[in-house]
Amino acid sequence: MAGAVIKCDSVYKIFGANAKKMLQEANGNVDAKTFQKMGCIVGVNNASFEVSKGEMLVVMGLSGSGKSTLLRCISRLTDATDGKIYIEGQDLLSLKNKELIELRRNKMGMVFQSFALLPHKTVLENIAFPLQIKGIKTEDSISKAVDMVKLVGLEGRENYFPRELSGGQQQRVGIARSLAVEPDIWFLDEPFSALDPLIRKEMQDEFLRLQEKLKKTIMFITHDFDEALKLADRIAIMKDGIIEQLDTPAKIVLNPATEYVKKFTEEVPREKVLKIEDVMEKPNIENLSDLKVLKDEIIENVAEKILTQEKSVAVTDVNNKIVGTVHPSKIIHTVFGGRKNNS
């Protein structure tokens, strides 16, 4: 893809004394167990993918699956053991320290699980920090920080210290800080995992609102499959350092590639995830009911209407052009069929 902002080409990250040598000997065929016997731990195993401009890739995996390590390779907080990483066509691993700092100062922002705010600085100073590091004047950086405070809705708390804020508020500061330099690429490392469920939902909605407005290229790490489904354009599911499947949420739910992925998808309420277009069939003009539904509708929202019909329902795009049909039985099958105790 020409417009790929982030591109990974068989990236490996192996922790251990002579990881590099062992990797060469293994010739790309890395087996976590044999490596572990030799005293090496495999963090990321042959990861290749691209993220295009304005896309949100969610990397999902349980703890120890290597998802955070992958993110740190791409932000070069750790150096990948092998492989190529390109940021907007630039070879990340060949960058000199100065160039890397320049890249981080202008193109990258990152949000952390435990917020990672500087305890000695106020909300405002924390947000202004990356700007001041860049060498921007105090006045300008503070006025920019004030804008960011408004963006994340923390007005009135500018002079609070992180310890005086709730978890949700702290993460808002973290988000504001990561956005202060107006980066193109936005890394989020389990940003909402440390928050209470209700706050988490609120923050997810807030996050979607922000992304709607800002259209950043995003890599988002989570261990929560529901969160991944809710936010992602595409999801990469990782296990033991390997990307098991990388696809759109709908395709992952409908066609889990491995047994491991299937375990996650089984419990997912499909009607809440899938859109009509995900289940529609080829347009068949004959024998349609009078009802028409938009292809972008979530199944849950139109299921009741469709199920009252006996014949297939026409699916249209925004221009009212029929692009497919869906039969009520298909809806029933999607929602209730294919589950463990039914099959």
Partner 1 sequence: MELLKKYPKLFQWFFLLIVFFALCFAIDVPETYKFIRVQAEFIKDPNQSTYTLFGKEVRYYAFDVLWRLPPLLGWLPIWVNDSLFFLLNEWMPMEFWNEDLQEYKTRPLVLQITRNITALMTFLIELIREILLGGVKTVVAFTSWDWIDKNPWAEMPGLPWTIVAAGAVILGYKLSGKGLAIFAGLVMVYISVFGQWKPSMQTLSFILVAAPLSFIFGLTLGVMAYKSKRVEKALYPILLTMQTMPQYAVLVPAMVLFGIGDHAAVIITMVVAIPPMILLTLLGLRAVSPEVIEAGKMSGCNNWQLMTKVLIPTARRDILIGVNQVIMVCFSMAVIAAFIGAKGLGWNLLLALNQLNIGLALEAGLCISMIAILLDKMSLAWANKQEDYFGNLTFFQRYKNTLFFAVAVLIGIILSYVGSFYLKDGYNYLYEVPHNKGISTAAFWNKGVDWIWDTFFQTLKIFNTWLITEVLQPMRALYLRMPAVATVVLVVGAGYIIGGIRSALVTAGLVLFIALSPWWDRALVTTYMATFGVIASCTIGLTVGTLCQQNKYTTKFMLAVCDIFQTFPSFVYLIPVMMLFGVTDTSVLIAVIVYATIPATRYTIEGLRSVPAGLHDAASMSGVTKFQRLINIEFPIAFPHMMLGVNQTIVFALFMVIIGAFIGTEDLGQYILKALSDKAGGGKGLILGICVAFIALIFDNLIRTWVQKRKKHLGID
Please give the residue ranges that form the binding site for partner 1 (CB under 8 A).
72, 75, 77, 97-98, 101-102, 104-106, 108-110, 112-122, 124, 129-130, 133-134, 138, 142, 158-159, 174, 177-178, 181, 187
Q: Least Å distance between CB 144 and partner 1?
A: 12
Closer Cβ to partner 1, 91 or 99, answer by number: 99
Measured distance CA(215)–CA(106) in Å, rounded: 16
User: Would residue 54 be called left, alpha or beta, if left means φ above 0 and alpha means ψ between -120 and 50 degrees?
Assistant: left
Which of 162, 241 has the CB closer to partner 1?
Answer: 162
Cβ proximity to partner 1, 180 vs 242, nearer residue: 180
Q: Which helix (H) or strand (E) holds 239?
A: strand 234-239
Strand, coil or helix: 302: helix
Nearer of residues 222 and 312 to partner 1, judged by Cβ: 222
User: Going along 136-225, which residue ranges are E strands?
Assistant: 185-189, 217-222
- Cα torsion for 37, 39, 41, 42, to the nearest 10°? -60
Least distance to partner 1, CB of residue 143, Å = 10
Which residue number, 34 or 138, has a Cβ lying nearer to partner 1? 138
Contact status, residue 100 vs residue 142, Cβ threshold 8 Å: no
Q: 183: how many CB neighbours lie within 10 A of its CB?
A: 21
Q: Residue 101 Cβ, how far from partner 1 at the closest point, in Å?
A: 5
CB of 175 to partner 1, least distance (A): 12
- Least Å distance between CB 19 and partner 1? 19
Q: Which of helix, strand or coil describes residue 107?
A: helix
Q: Specify the residue, 19 or 117, whose C-beta has the smaller distance to partner 1.
A: 117
Provide the minimum distance between the beta carbon of 249 and partner 1 in the complex, in angstroms, as a whole number.
28
| CB 268 within 8 Å of CB 253 | yes
Sign for the CA dihedral angle at 99, 105, 107, 108 comes to positive
